[in-house]
Structure 1
Amino acid sequence: MTPSQPFSGSAKEDANFEKEARSLESSVGVGFVEDPVMEGRVWRKLDHRVLPVMTMFYLLSFLDRTNVGNARVAGLQTDLGMSNKQYSIALTVTYVPYILSELPSNLMLKAVGPHLMLPTMLTLWGIVTALQGIVDSYSGLLACRFFIGLLEGGVFPGLVLYLSYFYPRYKMNTRITLFFSSASLSGAFSGILAYGIIRMDGIGNRPGWSWIFILEGLFTFLFGLSSYFVFPRSLEKTWFLSPEEKAYVKGKLLEDTHKEEEVFTWKEVIEAFKLPQLWLLGMAFFFAATILFGLAYFSPSIIQGLGYTAADAQLMSVPPYAVACIVALIASFISDRYRCRGIVCIVSVLFCAIGFAMFLGSQSKRVQYGSLFFSVTGAYMAAPTQATWNANNASPQTRRATVIAMGFILANSGGIVATWLLGSLSPAPRYTKATITLLVFSLLAALFSVLNLLYLRVQNGKKAERRKTMSREDEEPGLGNHSAWYIYNL
């Protein structure tokens, strides 16, 4: 199957659909440049129908996972009698099932179908999020955090894989950033929400922090139920594209990749683990994600440590995330327009390094607050571009699904490190050891991004030499990204 048709109907229907797409591809030529009207129309329709749903999924995922940082500032840790170490344990408990569920979830997505699996996960974690608002013990919080991690683990890798069923590789970064930007928006949004919600303190004999969980979890639950009716099942099952438009998209995907395997095979899973680009970019993923999750969980506490009240700290966390959202979208446009994933990854983590150097080297509260505009922006620029770069350079489908999941497993391992760096191992308000560590991690993320860029450039050179000595028909089928005609995105 092609990357856009993992959940279609019968084998006969799939064969007819692919034949139609190839016929259309032949008739209009490579790249379909002769039909700019169709080009604009199909992607606009997909952007309007697919991306908003994906954006809400990831916004709610990130919001419900990280709003514990806002609840902490609002009194969660004090009311439950938790030490800094216990708070870090509660965050760590989220990531253990989160990491363990990512690869199985991505491999199951094809069999179950995204239109069923993803809405079910969303609905269930909305219930668990709301239940956090009624816990009255540390053990109750741990149980909720465990199930949130278990249910949310497959969301981001699943959404990235699902996106590859509709868009060719060179259009991926802007789309991934559009829905990932909801993560930076959630950082701003959660601050505004928390500022208002904590004023409900005492209503229903519940503290203000509990209403953060209850109201946000309730909204997630309701959106999860509605998403069963709006989530497009697959390209073939979309109701908003005409047969000609579906065939056009199919042709673009066939042009961009190669024929996919028709059934799941463990051979492709093993093949994914052999790819050097998985591990080179995976290390950059790990270091950059440690930065991102550290800031996501602790930026309200960092800002409170600069002398702001709990309520004002919620509001002051909004501007850095708002700026990060805008800059990340600009960076993704540049990445897609000039196909320069590696350069954007490198520049983004260097932004982080600048921010941590400012926070570490200055005693001025204003400079320390200003440093967040660099570090938060860099972190939220890096994540979607790394996710795109990772997904762009693996094929066929099972291999790509494995690479995507493994990238996020390494990233969320960084999340575990982040939960201990700030607060437990490095005390407030200066977080000196944590800041030094994150500064080093920024530079290491840049280094591994450079190494991945150089490796892929060398491999593209070797493929160019192979293409001079053979035709595409001479090449054995099923090579996926090892094909001489599969050009790695740099």
Structure 2
Amino acid sequence: MQTDREKEPVSGAGSTPSSSSFEESAIPQEVNDAIPPPGIDERKLMRKIDIRLLPVLCILYLLAFLDRVNISNAAIFGLKEDLGLGGVEYNTALTIFFVPYIICEIPSNILLKRLKPHLWLSLCMFFFGLTTMLQGLVKNYSGILATRFFLGVFESGMFPGCFYLIAMWYKRSEAQKRYSFFFGSTSLAGAFGGLLASAIGKMEGVNGWNGWRWIFILEGLLTCVVSFLFFFIITDFPEEAKFLSEEERAFVKKRLQVDVGESAREEKMTLKDAVNVFKDYKIFVGGFMYFGLIVPAYGYAYFAPTIVKQLGHDPIQTQLHSVPPWACAFVFAMVIAVLSDRLQHRFLFTLIPIAIAVTGFCILLAVHDNTNLQYAALFLLAMGTYSAMPVVVCWFNTNLGGHHRRAIGTAWQVGFGNIGGIIATYSFLSNDAPYYTSGYSIGLAFSLLSALSCVIYYVAVTMENSKRERGVSKYNGATAMEKRGLGDENPDYRYFR
């Protein structure tokens, strides 16, 4: 737990204290405890954790996002026509995914904590892969609705679960590039999905099936196969990680304790614990930060192929032209992440990407006769949205201390935020083509909502840090044992900005 001598200065906007912030001879015992014991090289240990944790989670979420949005690729190859989806039926098929996805977020994270990540995540992965395969066998509108609903059930634990797990391994000052690398799997899924769909689409007529069916069947089969392997290689929380020695586990736990306090991994989570989390208004602000970005994010993920096709491309060229914006979004997100971690600051690295996305929306709203500029605007939209989202989630979730507040807070932010997915699926209607003025306007408005929420959150954590510097806190009289369960509400804690 951070003590008065290692608190981040209020004026530092999330910066760490310099060596002059306290006397060298008076370093708190907790900081001494975080010094690696003999025989442990901290950099090598973190590389070991990175290699074991991040690639696996990236592949997991890449496949989850791919199975979620490949319906947009399937639509280009005749899904709507074969299933007779007219009016807003296609949009409804997209929307129904989010109903169970939103409801099941918090229960899923509670089960993740109880059952351990390697079991829960691999189990969910197998079932959403199987459901994706079944999408390729549906015969009518009812069939696609049913499969999309259960896809939402089984995918609900992926995103908040992975973010929760990552947050329990890394300090706040080193988390952003890891979060963005993981979140970049969504961009890679978009790029990979376009390439894969362009190849699978050529299987038109194989076994008497249209190409869109093979997109679902083969991508779902890949997910099922990988899930069996991941049961054995997904790592659990630091307290249970078998690939670390006992000394390494103790050190990882201690360095996290110094940064954000006791994890309270062993304590049972009750309904009262969950309710208490929502007594903090910052939890709700964090939800709106993500909610505002989900609308443009899913608007782009689900409708980018349709928008690109409107620029005058055939189905194969449409899939190929959808790849470069995703690839650029991944690279830009990693640049933003590295800078954010290096400067140990989050707030401005939410606003700058959002401003880029806003610029893209403005171009798409204003320009209708220049296909090159319209295509370039899609780059701005993807780069801005998909680089701001991981910063928003990392900033909020790593500011939450302890297993209970992180498990509930992460699931709440993602669950509430994904209500925006419902809005996104009805933003781009077929009768609005080719200009999609409503869709772009809605995306622009919600991007600005996210920016406003980020400003409010920044002011809130700055004020809270300032109050604690002055010794103002309702928990000032808490005992050491009581502070252990307070997480980020501990008066000794300082929020990252």
Secondary structure of the structure 2 residue equivalent to 1:455: helix
Residues 159 and 470 of structure 1: is their aligned pair in 2 closer, same or farther, counting only changes over 3 Å?
closer
**How many Å apart are 1:47 and its aligned residue?**
0.5
Which amino acid is 2:495 matched to? Y
> What SS does the aligned partner of 2:312 have?
coil
State the alpha-carbon separation in 2 of the partners of residues 470 and 290 from structure 1.
40
Query: Does the 8 A contact of 2:65 with 2:189 survive in 1?
Result: yes
Change (3 A) 1:37 1:471: farther
Residue 287 of structure 1 corresponds to 292
Of residues 58, 64, 88 in structure 2, which corresponds to 1:85? 88
Report whether the alignment pairs 1:218 with 2:221. Answer: yes
2:241 aligned partner: 238
- Determine helix, strand or coil for the equivalent of 1:29: helix
Q: From the superposition, tell whether residues 245 and 34 of structure 1 become closer, same or farther in structure 2 (CA, over 3 Å).
A: closer
| Residue 373 (str. 1) matches residue 379 (str. 2) | yes
Q: Distance in 1 between matches of 2:54 and 2:442?
A: 36
* Residue among 323, 326, 331 paired with 1:326: 331
Q: Kindly provide the CA deviation profile for residues 427-483 of structure 1, in whole angstroms up to 9, marking residues without a partner as x.
A: 111101111221122222111111111111111111111189989977952322111
- Whole-Å separation in 1 of the counterparts to 2:380 and 2:35: 40
Which residue does the alignment assign to 2:414? 408
- Distance in structure 1 (CA, Å) of the matches to 2:50 and 2:472: 35
Name the structure 1 match of 2:490.
Answer: 483
2: distance between equivalents of 1:479 and 1:235?
Answer: 20
Which residue of the partner structure matches residue 265 of structure 1?
Answer: 270
Q: Output the CA distance in 1 between the equivalents of 2:478 and 2:38.
A: 26
Instruction: Find the aligned partners of 1:242 and 1:127 in 2 and give their Cα distance.
Output: 36
Q: Which of 370, 383, 398 matches 2:404? A: 398
Q: CA deviation at 1:113?
A: 1.4
Cα distance in 2 between the residues matched to 1:442 and 1:128:
32
The answer (yes or no) to whether the contact 1:355–1:371 under 8 Å persists in 2 is yes
Q: Is the 8 A contact 1:260 1:397 kept in 2?
A: yes
Name which of structure 1's ranges 460-469 and 50-59 shifts more when overlaid on structure 2: 460-469
Write the distance in 2 (CA, Å) between the matches of 1:36 and 1:355: 51
Cα distance change of structure 1 residues 470 and 433 upon mapping to structure 2, 3 Å threshold: closer
Aligned position for 2:119: 116
Which deviates more from structure 2 when the two are superposed, residues 463-472 or residues 201-210? 463-472
1:14 corresponds in structure 2 to: none
Moved more, 397-406 or 213-222: 397-406
* Structure 1, unpaired ranges of 5+: 1-24
TM-score (norm 1): 0.91
1-structure distance, mates of 2:330, 2:131: 28
Contact kept? 1:45, 1:240, Cα under 8 Å:
no
Q: How far, CA to CA, are the matches of 2:109 and 2:259 in structure 1?
A: 22
Matched to 2:391, the amino acid is: T
Residue from 157, 164, 169 that aligns with 2:172: 169
d(CA) in 2 for partners of 1:132, 1:470 = 55
Q: 1:318 to 1:155 in 2, by over 3 A?
A: same
Shift in alpha-carbon separation, 1:481–1:233, aligned structure 2, 3 A = closer
Q: 1:278 aligns with which of 273, 280, 283?
A: 283
CA 1:31–1:227: 2 relative to 1, 3 Å: same
Which of 20, 34, 50 pairs up with 1:47?
50
Letter in 2 for 1:238: A
Structure 2 CA distance, aligned partners of 1:484 and 1:28? 18
The equivalent residue for 1:101 is 104
Q: Matches of 2:87 and 2:319 in 1, distance apart? A: 20
Q: How does 1:463-482 map to 2 (within 5 A)?
A: 463-466=468-471, 476-477=482-483, 478-482=485-489
Q: Deviations over 1:278-331 (max 9, x none)?
A: 222211211111110010000000000111111111000000000000010111
State the 1:28 CA deviation. Answer: 7.5
1:392–1:488: 8 Å Cα contact kept in structure 2?
A: no
Q: Which amino acid is the alignment partner of residue 346 of structure 1?
A: L
1:10 equivalent in structure 2:
none
- Give me the whole-angstrom Cα distance separating, in 1, the residues matched to 2:38 and 2:263: 26
Q: Distance in 2 between matches of 1:481 and 1:27?
A: 17
d(CA) in 1 for partners of 2:245 and 2:117?
22
Task: Say what the alpha-carbon RMSD is for the aligned residues.
Answer: 2.2
C-alpha distance in 1, partners of 2:181/2:86? Answer: 37
Tell me by how many angstroms 1:35 deviates: 8.2
Range moving further from structure 2, 132-141 or 148-157: 132-141
* Residue from 224, 227, 230 that aligns with 1:227: 230
Cα shift at 1:253: 1.1
Q: Is the 8 A contact 1:265 1:398 kept in 2?
A: no
State whether structure 2 residue 343 is matched by structure 1 residue 338.
Answer: yes
Distance change in 2, residues 1:317/1:472 (3 Å): same
Q: Measure the CA separation in 2 of the matches of 1:228 and 1:470.
A: 44
> What is the CA distance between 1:65 and its match in structure 2?
0.2
Amino acid of the residue matched to residue 313 of structure 1?
A: T
Contact preservation (8 Å) 2:476, 2:491 = no
* 1:183-240 CA-partner distances (Å, limit 9, x unpaired): 0001100000011110000001010111100110000000011111111233244343
Q: What letter is aligned with 2:112?
A: L
Distance 1:284 1:48, change over 3 A: same
Identity, % of aligned pairs? 37
- Say yes or no: does 1:444 pair with 2:454: no
Q: Does structure 2 conserve the Cα–Cα contact (< 8 Å) formed by 1:391 and 1:400?
A: yes
Unaligned runs of 5+ in 2: 1-27
Moved more, 403-412 or 197-206: 403-412
Contact 1:467–1:485 (CA under 8 A) maintained in structure 2: no
1:309 aligns with 2:314: yes
Number of matched pairs: 465
